[in-house]
Structure 1
Amino acid sequence: MVSHAHPGTTSSALTRLNVTAARLLGIPPTGYAHLLGMAPEHLNDDLYRPPALTSIRIAELATVHAPWPEVALLLARQSDVGSLGVWDYLITSAPTPLEGIRDAAAYLATVLDTTTDDLRITEDGSRVTLSHLNRGDLAHEAACAVRACALGLYLRRLREAAQRPLVPLHVALATDAPRRYDALIELYGTRAIEFGAPVSSITFRSADLTAPTPHAQPGLSAVLRRHADQSLAAAVPLRDWLDLFRSALVSVQDEGGPALSTVARRMAVSPRTLQRRLDEHGTTWSAEVEAVRRDHVARLLHTTALSVDAVAARSGYADARALRRAVRRWYGTTPAALRRAGDPQAEALEPAR
């Protein structure tokens, strides 16, 4: 899976975490309920990827209502293991905490927009340093909260993996010292916090991260990595009106077949208005239906053992012959060859444009 999957978006789980913090801070929903990705059918479904801007705006509202160290602590406290999906378990289920955090760095895109956020791991003899780089367009206070919270999340997951207290050797934050930072001392469990650093980072003893993870199950990490790949491949990014339309179209496809009137009703517009909006976005109803059907067929071939006849039936084709013609048109190959390739992102099998 490419490192920059679905640029400009984050996981719905991360958005939910920000919403929870906003509610606990008493921020009126009217301040963020209108943002893209906040509709319940998107916010509560891990298939969707809301815009990163949605989480950014909620974080900015949070830091208006409370000092950024307290916001960082609140976010970390609300992030119980599993709240961020498969990313959490990549850390807690690996043979060692260090191997887990390496997997978390490789699959950071399951949670964050990796065009703006990055997790880097540096091993230097007896020390391991995790550095979080954030280049997002956030207000200053919100950026401070996000960076501090990221380090706190890494620490919390590593503690859960090790199943014992881990005290970092050093914490560095790329921000000026706040007036009070008791919340940060509580978050990291140490007073060894440096402010004004060029990069936010947290440092551990290597021995703390290389000890075997209790109850680790052989082979589980590989299963979780495959699941992370599949989750990213199937995700539906929400960036603009066209993304919202496509998410509605996908949901109708899953219900048995796309109908223009049904999708129009879900988007609270008339069929004629829907077609006009598609034209404004440089596409058509038939082209969008074809794209959804293509992705649906590829997903069934790569994630199930269904026969070609069964895939055809589930995808709205009259028979396997019609499905084979469609796959040949899209990918220049057969359903069997596409299934053997095992990767819908494979360069040699890119759909024809």
Structure 2
Amino acid sequence: MIPHAHRGTTSSALTRLNVNAARVLGVPVNGYAHLLGLAPEHLNDDLCRAPTLTSVRIAELMTEHTSWPEVALLMTQQSPIGGLGIWDYLITCAPSPLEGIRDAATYLGAILDVTTDSIQVREHGQHVSVTHTNGADLAFEAACAVRACALGLFQARLSHAAQRHLVPVHVALATEVPRNHDALIELYGTRAIDFGEPVSSITFRAADLKAPSPHAPPGLSTVLRRHAEQTLADSVPLHSWLDLFRTALASAYDAGRPTLSAVAQRLSISTRTLQRRLEEHGATWSGEVEAARRARVTGLLRDTDLGLGAIASRTGYADARALRRAVHRWYGRTPSALRAPPGA
């Protein structure tokens, strides 16, 4: 069973792709640097997931800067194999490219928002079509770029799996005809591109996708599918500013007992602004610290064999006695009862 795919968010790998492409295009950083999920500690953390709106806004800024076919080409060029993490390897390390793209469709949530994007793989006679739909609330030009880029990413990864450049038989784009589509011809390596289609798809010869991948290690696909599931289960979605704050607070706890100034520094804001934003979200510093401490204590009790004294020391309590009082206040139980497995 696939874990919850964190609806409304995309992977940090996809966010990095958007940021890198925006930088290459020279899009002014002040237009997007403030967006949720772009702080270095989140952008570079493969388990953090930024709101889908973050990538949406960057895509819109890029298409305000240059034409959407150019954006689609650049984004594909800026995404080497491995750049999209485990999702790339699901395709490139499968027994065949066809099996790989099927796994990629199943685990699309590892990189994209499954409420806005989907992939279907269909065999028809001597051909296989990979269809991509995107229903995000994007400006028109940005939507065109995203749809065209998605097909380019599929082609690049399927070609890598086959260890040779796969030229599609046909490309269909759910976009209007651009003024100039030379960039798309370069992207797909073919002039067989139709516009104004109901959905976007890229079609290959079935024989090309069914042929065994030359360098696929036996059994690796099973391992990669499990890893994709675990990645989804462990991911941290950043849906709002409060999520961002709580991630920074938890990170500060890892480095020692958190302080208001330390967390404000991680968020690149002043302590006064931090307190004001907490008030705007109906939260308080003391309440959030207590909740974070409670989560940390609970995790250490349930997931480790550390003694109460060690847990107290790690979570800012004077001693085991103070820890026991806190646990009883939270749960009405003793630490040992909380630590015991259900039914014990």
In structure 1, the residue matched to 2:291 is: 287
Select between 198-207 and 4-13 the one with higher mean Cα deviation.
4-13
CA distance, structure 1, for counterparts of residue 299 and residue 93 of structure 2? 31
**Residue deviations 1:234-274 (CA, integer Å, cap 9, x gap):** 22222222111111122123325555664355444549964
In structure 2, the residue matched to 1:237 is: 237
CA distance, structure 2, for counterparts of residue 110 and residue 150 of structure 1? 15
Change (3 A) 1:336 1:139: same
Preserved CA contact (<8 Å) 2:120 2:130:
yes
**Residue deviations 1:104-126 (CA, integer Å, cap 9, x gap):** 11111111111111111112232
**Match of 1:114, SS?**
coil
Q: Note the residue ranges of structure 1 that are not aligned, 5 or more in a row.
A: 302-306, 339-353
Aligned pairs for 1:128-167 (under 5 A) are 128-167=128-167
CA distance, structure 2, for counterparts of residue 46 and residue 217 of structure 1? 24
Rg comparison, structure with higher value: 2
CA distance, structure 2, for counterparts of residue 104 and residue 312 of structure 1? 46
1:277 correspondence with 2:278: yes
Aligned pairs for 1:210-225 (under 5 A) are 210-225=210-225
In structure 2, the residue matched to 1:29 is: 29
Change (3 A) 1:37 1:276: closer
TM-score normalised to the size of structure 1?
0.81
**Match of 1:50, SS?**
strand
CA distance, structure 2, for counterparts of residue 87 and residue 158 of structure 1? 12
Q: Give the partner amino acid of 1:55.
A: S
1:67 correspondence with 2:67: yes
**Match of 2:132, SS?**
strand
CA distance, structure 2, for counterparts of residue 293 and residue 12 of structure 1? 28
CA distance, structure 2, for counterparts of residue 62 and residue 118 of structure 1? 23
CA distance, structure 1, for counterparts of residue 340 and residue 123 of structure 2? 44
Change (3 A) 1:212 1:34: same
Quote how far apart the aligned CAs of 1:281 are: 3.6
Quote how far apart the aligned CAs of 1:336 are: 8.2
Quote how far apart the aligned CAs of 1:280 are: 3.9
Give the percent of matched residue pairs that are identical in Structure 1 and Structure 2: 60
Quote how far apart the aligned CAs of 1:215 are: 1.5
Change (3 A) 1:251 1:193: same
Give RMSD over aligned pairs. Answer: 3.2
CA distance, structure 1, for counterparts of residue 225 and residue 138 of structure 2? 30
Preserved CA contact (<8 Å) 1:308 1:335:
no
**Match of 1:184, SS?**
helix
TM-score normalised to the size of structure 2?
0.83
Q: Note the residue ranges of structure 2 that are not aligned, 5 or more in a row.
A: none
In structure 2, the residue matched to 1:175 is: 175
